[in-house]
Amino acid sequence: MIHITLPDNSIKEYPTGSTALDIARSISEGLARNVLAAKVNNEVWDATRPIDSDVRLRLLTWDDAEGKSTMWHSSAHLMAEAIELLYPGVKFGIGPNIENGFYYDMDFGDRTITPEDLVKIEQKMLELAREKQGFIREEISKAEALKHFKQKNDEYKLELINDLQDGSITLYHTGKFTDLCRGPHLPDSGFIKAIKLLSIAGAYWRGDEKRKQLTRIYGITFPKAKDLTEYLVLLEEAKKRDHRKLGKELELFTFSPKVGMGLPLWLPKGAMLRERLETFLKNLQRKAGYLPVITPHIGNVELYKTSGHFQKYGKDSFQPITTPVEGEQFMLKPMNCPHHCEIYSYKPRSYKDLPVRLAEFGTVYRYEQSGELHGLTRVRGFTQDDAHIFCRPDQLKEEFIAVIDIVLHIFKTLDFKDYTAQVSLRDPNDHEKYIGSDENWEKAESAIIEAAAERGLATTVEIGEAAFYGPKLDFMVKDALGRKWQLGTIQVDYNLPERFELEYTGSDNQKHRPVMIHRAPFGSMERFVAVLIEHTAGKFPLWLTPDQAIVLPISEKYVEYAKNVLHLLQNSEIRALVDERNEKAGRKIRDAEMMKIPYMLVVGEKEEETGTVSVRRQGEGDLGTFSIEAFVNLINEEIKRLTGQ
Query: Where in 220-249 is the site for RNA (CB under 7 A)?
Result: 244-245, 248
Q: Is 243 annotated in the active site?
A: no
Q: Which stretch of DSSP H or E encloses residue 280?
A: helix 268-287
Q: Which of 366, 426, 527, 535 is catalytic?
A: 366
Between residues 81 and 386, which has the closer beta carbon with respect to RNA?
Answer: 386
Question: Half-sphere exposure of residue 239, counting CA atoms within 13 Å on the CB side?
Answer: 6
Q: Is 384 annotated in the active site?
A: yes
Between residues 591 and 638, which has the closer beta carbon with respect to RNA?
Answer: 591
8 A C-beta contact, residue 164 and residue 25 = no
Shortest distance in whole angstroms from residue 407 CB to RNA = 16
* CA dihedral sign, ordered 27, 28, 30, 32: positive
Q: Which stretch of DSSP H or E encloses residue 624?
A: strand 621-627
Between residues 213 and 571, which has the closer beta carbon with respect to RNA?
Answer: 213
Residues 6 or more apart in contact with residue 414 via CB below 8 angstroms: 532, 535, 541
Q: Which of 154, 188, 385, 386 is catalytic?
A: 386
* Separation of alpha carbons 532 and 487, rounded Å: 11
Q: Which of 102, 255, 494, 504 binds RNA (CB under 7 A)?
A: 255
627 binds RNA (CB under 7 A): no
Shortest distance in whole angstroms from residue 3 CB to RNA = 44
Between residues 81 and 607, which has the closer beta carbon with respect to RNA?
Answer: 607
Binding to RNA in span 523-562, by CB under 7 A: 554-557
Between residues 66 and 583, which has the closer beta carbon with respect to RNA?
Answer: 583
Binding to RNA in span 377-396, by CB under 7 A: 378
Q: Which of 276, 388, 527, 596 is catalytic?
A: 388
Q: Is 183 left (phi over 0), alpha (psi -120 to 50) or beta?
A: left
As a residue count, the chain comes to 645
* Residue among 188, 178, 434, 383 nearest 266 (CA): 383
Binding to RNA in span 30-69, by CB under 7 A: none
Binding to RNA in span 463-522, by CB under 7 A: 467-468, 481, 483, 518
Helix (H, G, I), strand (E, B) or coil at 330: strand
- Taking CB under 7 A as the binding criterion, the range among 222-230, 361-369, 413-421, 627-635 that sits at the site for RNA is 361-369
8 A C-beta contact, residue 474 and residue 486 = yes
- Taking CB under 7 A as the binding criterion, the range among 340-348, 396-404, 437-445, 596-604 that sits at the site for RNA is 596-604
* Residue among 394, 612, 374, 431 nearest 507 (CA): 394
Q: Which of 68, 179, 337, 596 is catalytic?
A: 337
Q: Is 173 annotated in the active site?
A: no
> How buried is residue 1: exposed, middle or buried, by Cβ count under 10 Å (0-12/13-18/19+)?
exposed
Shortest distance in whole angstroms from residue 195 CB to RNA = 17
Q: Is 472 annotated in the active site?
A: yes
What is the rounded radius of gyration, in angstroms, for the C-alpha atoms of the chain?
30
Phi, psi of 619 (to 5 degrees): 80, -5
Binding to RNA in span 146-175, by CB under 7 A: none
* Separation of alpha carbons 189 and 130, rounded Å: 7
Q: Which of 88, 167, 207, 324 binds RNA (CB under 7 A)?
A: 207
What are the helix (H) ranges across 515-582?
A: 525-536, 559-571
196 binds RNA (CB under 7 A): no
Binding to RNA in span 574-593, by CB under 7 A: 581-587, 589-590, 593
366 binds RNA (CB under 7 A): yes
Q: Is 337 annotated in the active site?
A: yes
* Separation of alpha carbons 396 and 355, rounded Å: 9
- Taking CB under 7 A as the binding criterion, the range among 124-132, 200-208, 223-231, 294-302 that sits at the site for RNA is 200-208
| Residues forming the active site | 337, 366, 384, 386, 388, 472, 518
